[in-house]
Every structure is written in C-alpha cells, then in structure tokens.
C-alpha cells in the first residue's frame, strides 16, 4: 500500500505553474472515522465534517453495496499511522526519497502535503522528517489555531507553510481576522459555480482563487489574503450557506461583512 497519492486533479495543477511543483498528498480518514477513538481533526466543526473533502471527488464514490475503496485505503493508512507509527514513518521517508529523485530528474519542485484529509500537528510529530528534507516544501491547511500560532511564531520547521482554514464558528472568524491582519492566508469556502470568476477582494482583503492550484507557499507573497475555494460536494447544498460555513460572494465581495 502506498501512503502518498499524486493523482488529485487540483494537486496536478501545480505541475502547470510557471515554476512547476509536484506534490505528494497523504490522505488519512478524517476526524473520528478511524474507529480507534482518536480524533485526527481536533479543530473540526459539524459543518466541516458534514461537507468534508473526504466525501468529495473519489471519496464521494460509494458503491451500491456501501463500499468505498477510497475510504478503505484511507482507513488502512490511518490504522497503520495509529498502530504502527514507526513502520508508517519509515515508509513516509522512503516515498519522499523517491519523490525527490523523481522531481530532480524532471526539474520539478518537490512538495508534500501531509494533511490531505486530516488535521494533525505534523510540524511537531514529523519535525525530523521535514528537517531531513530541507529542499522539500511541506505545506498544509489547518483549523487548529494553536498549530497556526506555533507556525507563525517560527516554532515549526522552516520548510513548512500553513494556511488557516476558516470554519463557521465566531471563534474561527475572530481567529481568521488575526491571521489576515498579521499578513497571512485564510482559506474560505464560497458559493460559486466551477466556472464562475472569483473576486480579487473579499471582506475587505485581497482574495486569491484557491482552486487554480493547491500550492499555497507560492501565495505567501500576497500578504493578508483570503484563499477562496468554491464549495464542492455536499457543501453546495443549501445547508452549506445556512450553516455559515459557505459564504455568499454577493454579500462580501468588496466590503467588510465579517469582523476583521
């Protein structure tokens, strides 16, 4: 079983950038779906669990008999992570070594996203792995404010980048304001069709179309900015906006509609 995947369509867009980047993504089974009583998404909310990226794309393809091969693979990786950590870690390192060789041969930048469908403090538990590959760019999105604070305070490895991912709670909105005002990135889900152009300003801040590619370290130069992501999968239903997780573009395209 491979631990990393590279086939996610949005991730593949990185290979078309002016400075192409190839990203390995680790997809575990999120929050408490591991069945071992461990919550791998401590900052998750009811809305993000309901519309989780785990149930979008291939993850949303459940067969008539109820099986989902994508979720089964994520569960198997997660079981190894939780019950055979050293074996898991050694395989992670081997796959990154191969990734670096592949990228070097083709003139690609090498990146790794460990929290494809989880929210674990990898900057802490895989610090040595990140430091062993100083030329590899590790990046994640997080809903956990203290992971972001740790990163912002310079306590994470230098080759790690974190984007704060806003949820529907007032606490998350307030923390997002702090992140934006400190000149950093906040991911925000908006109601928009796949082909709809996104505004360049949102809620008083610069906005980036986060669906163009996934590699956020390239966006760090924008300063405080929203990374707008179109609602996908179950999030597109009415409850997405009603829950406060998905934002209407019409409400907040240019003015400040949420506290910042």
Residues that bind ligand SF4 (CB under 6 A): 30-31, 41, 44, 48-49, 52-54, 117-119, 143
Angle (CA) 135 24 148, round 5°: 70
CB of 184 to ligand SF4, least distance (A): 18
CB of 142 to ligand SF4, least distance (A): 8
Bridge-based pairing of strands 137-142 and 160-165 is: parallel
Between 14 and 30, CB nearer to ligand SF4: 30
Between 168 and 218, CB nearer to ligand SF4: 168
Bridge-based pairing of strands 247-248 and 4-5 is: unpaired
Between 116 and 157, CB nearer to ligand SF4: 116
Query: Contact 197/159 with Cβ under 8 angstroms?
Result: no
CB neighbours of residue 171 within 10 Å: 11
CB of 42 to ligand SF4, least distance (A): 9
Which pairs from 5-8 meet CB under 8 Å and 24+ separation?
A: 5/116, 8/57, 8/116, 8/214
Strands (E), the chain: 4-5, 21-26, 109-113, 137-142, 160-165, 185-191, 201-202, 205-209, 225-230, 247-248
CB of 137 to ligand SF4, least distance (A): 21
CB of 43 to ligand SF4, least distance (A): 6
Between 101 and 237, CB nearer to ligand SF4: 237
Between 54 and 184, CB nearer to ligand SF4: 54
Between 52 and 123, CB nearer to ligand SF4: 52
Angle between helices 170-181 and 145-152 (to 10 degrees): 10
Between 41 and 208, CB nearer to ligand SF4: 41
CB of 165 to ligand SF4, least distance (A): 7
Query: Contact 19/30 with Cβ under 8 angstroms?
Result: no
Residues 6+ apart with CB under 8 A from 224: 179, 180, 181, 182, 183, 184, 185, 205, 206
Closest CA to 221 of 183, 182, 253: 183
CB neighbours of residue 218 within 10 Å: 20
CB of 25 to ligand SF4, least distance (A): 12
């Amino acid at each position: 079983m491979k631990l990393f995947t590279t086939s996610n369509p949005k991730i593949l867009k990185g290979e078309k950038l002016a400075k192409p980047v190839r990203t390995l993504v680790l997809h575990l089974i999120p929050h408490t779906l591991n069945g071992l009583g461990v919550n791998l998404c401590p900052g998750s909310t009811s809305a993000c669990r309901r519309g989780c990226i785990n149930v979008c794309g291939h993850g949303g393809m459940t067969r008539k008999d109820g099986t989902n091969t994508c979720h089964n693979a994520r569960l198997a990786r997660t079981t190894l992570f939780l019950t055979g950590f050293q074996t898991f870690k050694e395989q992670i390192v081997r796959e990154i070594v191969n990734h670096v060789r592949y990228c070097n041969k083709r003139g690609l930048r090498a990146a790794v996203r460990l929290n494809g469908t989880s929210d674990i403090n990898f900057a802490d538990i895989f610090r040595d792995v990140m430091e062993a590959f100083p030329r590899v760019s590790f990046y994640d999105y997080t809903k956990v404010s203290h992971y972001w604070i740790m990163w912002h305070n310079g306590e994470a490895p230098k080759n790690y980048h974190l984007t704060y991912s806003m949820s529907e709670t007032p606490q998350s909105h307030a923390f997002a304001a702090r992140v934006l005002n400190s000149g950093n990135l906040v991911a925000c889900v908006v109601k928009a069709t796949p082909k709809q152009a996104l505004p360049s300003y949102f809620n008083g801040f610069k906005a980036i179309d986060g669906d163009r590619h996934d590699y956020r370290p390239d966006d760090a130069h924008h300063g405080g900015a929203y990374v707008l992501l179109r609602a996908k999968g179950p999030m597109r239903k009415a409850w997405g906006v009603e829950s406060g997780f998905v934002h209407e573009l019409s409400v907040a395209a240019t003015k400040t509609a949420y506290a910042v």
